[in-house]
Amino acid sequence: NCLGASTTQYYLKEGANTYSYPMSLENILNEKGEKYEVNNCGSGGYASSDILVRFLLQNIDTNPNAVILYHAYNDIRSYLTSDFKSDYSHSRKNLGESYFKFYLGSLMPNLPLKFLNYLQNKFFPQNHRYTLIETISKGNFDISNVENIELGLNAYKRNIQNIITVCKHNKIQIILCTFCFYLHDKVKNSETHNLYKKIVIKENEIIKNLAEINNIDIVDA
């Protein structure tokens, strides 16, 4: 089972070919002569808390031999939202609270004017791929809320450790991965993106530390 967020879940299409890292991994493993099933358990927008809950309530019931966890970045919005709570309830709300907006948006025609489309998608979104995070977020997000970062990193570490503990208890091999983060030229001078990069580096340090103290495998990206 491959756990993570959009970087695990999403599929890339080029010509007639479709790619994802779980699909590629399954192909590589099956070339060795044995039959492997690699499940894509990623979900776009998930934070480590979401991954933990879904793993405990759903993914583990597939009885995996191994779990690969590739995750960082998505928790950061919660770190930088005021009135921090370790369960992220200060920064997340249930999609059901705003689902009616998607329903109403689906009834509206797609207008050929960009400004009208912007207003329509802001208040009555039609495409969850581009509006999901905003829809499920709440609270005062501000990159100046740096006092929350260490609290957030502690919650991130706790969530990952809990996944590790459950896997080891159930004799499931777990493999951790550090997270790739690249600043493209268009954003390399952005204060927000540079702050995110610094925090991802800290999240990667946590992943390395957890792999060491739990004596488990790690892929250092």
Q: What is the pLDDT along the chain (221 residues), one digit of tens a residue?
A: 999 999 999 888 888 888 899 999 999 999 988 899 999 999 999 999 999 999 999 999 999 999 999 999 999 999 999 999 999 999 998 877 777 776 776 777 776 767 666 666 666 666 555 567 888 899 999 999 999 999 999 999 999 999 999 999 999 999 999 999 999 999 999 999 999 999 999 999 999 999 999 999 999 98
C-alpha angle with apex 176: 193 to 219, nearest 5 degrees? 85
Helix ranges, 108-190 (H): 114-123, 128-136, 149-169
CA distance 106 to 118: 15
Nearest of 167, 168, 197 to residue 184 by alpha carbon: 197
Per DSSP, the three-state class of 117 is: helix
Neighbours of 162 (CB within 10 A): 15
Task: Determine contact, residues 170/65, Cβ cutoff 8 Å.
Answer: no
Alpha carbons 210 and 154: distance in angstroms, whole number: 12
Look at residue 104 in the predicted model and tell me its pLDDT.
Answer: 74
How far apart CA 8 and CA 82 sit, in angstroms, is 29
Beta bridge partners of residue 173, listed in sequence order: 66
